Amino acid sequence: MDSYRFPDDFIWGVATAAYQIEGAVAEGGRKPSVWDTFSKRPGAIHNGESGDIACDHYHRFEGDIALMAALGVKHYRFSIAWTRIIPDGRGAVNEAGIDFYRRLLDCLAKHDIRPHVTLFHWDSPQALEDRYGSWRSREIAKDFANYVAVVVKRLGDRVVDWMTMNEIPCFTLVGYDVGKPGGHAPGTQVATRKEVWQTMHHALLAHGMGVQAIRANSPRPCRVSLVDCPATPVPVSESASDIAAAGKAYHDLLWNGACIFPALTGRYSEAFLAAKGKLGEVPDISDGDLRTIAQPIDALGLNIYSGSYVRAAATPEGYQILELPKGYPRLDMSWLNIVPDSIYWALRHAKEQCGFTKDLFISENGAACTDEIDIKGEVVDLDRILYLRSYLRQVHRAVAEGLPVTGYFHWSLLDNYEWSFGTTKRCGLYYTVYDSQRRIAKESARWYAECISQRRVV
């Protein structure tokens, strides 16, 4: 019964994001974010859905926190909506927004649940998009730092664990594109790829300035993290040559060289600079930017769902990314290939390739599944349990091998507004009946509660 057992202080948590669950987009002084605007753009969202109501968590947070308590969850990762706090992105503070999060935090404390607060999860103020193009401008880094200072100063008596940003590549590289609108908010078309990479640089700068703002304004000692979604190469066999090949690939794959490397090491990877330099795509970097970007953090959160298999090869790069066969198992996202080892290798690469030796945690992992209510009124999501069990065993492997892995947050507590997919993709431990806002515990909720209770993968 001790197999796959985690340390007693290992964090078992759940995660959500403000725009995906809160709703109440025009209540309590909140003004539009870029996602409010993007979701109204014809064709941008499946079925034309928006987050106007989502899970109505703004009005139902007490019941949702009770659901966490029923699972035995003692750690909750959630985000704060910038436009609830400073509706225009800069300027006047909305005390009603501060009060909402105070009440939420007090309710968590009542249930002995520790908050882990993400200060930005993609929903930047529309006012800043209108003013200067949001992430296209360096101005946003200063505005973000000022917003962070306001939140931390007012809520820091209730929060120890802060995360600056969630998945920088997703609101920069996916939000902007050349020759067409980006696929995520703000959905902006730009003229060159350099401009796209520039948005990421500005977001990294905002992260660094955000870290400084947290340190300067927290009323008590706190912990600061960044949450990233690195591309994860997995050696197809754990031979020395394939492991080395996966390590090389980590520097090259997707956005790694321009995001996690500067954030953790204070420099863009040589592979990125060489590849993009030939194309004239390297972003403009001002003096002191990299020092600001690489502010020391206390922990690194990784959002990991899948990965790519790699083997050693006689190529100029020294490796080959293997294409998955047509019958390879995946769940209810086109990219959600089941690669359990990816979660282990993401943790290991952070240490071995980026030299990060402080605490690591899985800030998101979970699965979109085709959940349905059966004739008994149950949601028996055995596919999600299969996925979670296999991934958590790989987290345990990382812990057993001595990597400094402190916790795991399941994505998500509830089925919610899944960005451009609207409400068509279900990732929650609780099934959301959107018409009535009823929550139904899935079989995976019961399974996860048992993992928490026994402190092991059951």
Catalytic residue list: 167, 364
β-pairing, 430-433 vs 438-441, is: antiparallel
- 3-class secondary structure, 236: coil
- From the list 217, 46, 16, the residue with the least C-alpha distance to 123 is 16
- 3-class secondary structure, 450: helix
- From the list 410, 402, 407, 396, the residue with the least C-alpha distance to 344 is 396
- From the list 77, 75, 90, 154, the residue with the least C-alpha distance to 127 is 90
Q: 């394939």: which residue's tokens? A: 242
Q: Cα–Cα distance between 58 and 64 in angstroms, integer?
A: 10
- From the list 170, 162, 160, 84, the residue with the least C-alpha distance to 135 is 170
Report in angstroms the alpha-carbon separations of 44 from 47, 175, 283, 345.
9, 12, 28, 34
Type of residue numbered 378: E
Q: 């109501």: which residue's tokens? A: 53
- From the list 247, 212, 220, 244, the residue with the least C-alpha distance to 232 is 247
Type of residue numbered 434: Y
- 3-class secondary structure, 93: coil
Burial string for 334-360 (b: 16+ CB within 10 Å, else e) reads eebbbbbbbbbbbbbbbbebbebebbb
Q: Cα–Cα distance between 439 and 273 in angstroms, integer?
A: 48
Q: Which residues are paired to 337 by β-bridges?
A: 330
Burial class of residue 279, CB neighbours in 10 A (0-12, 13-18, 19+): exposed
Contact (Cβ atoms closer than 8 angstroms) between residue 429 and residue 440: no
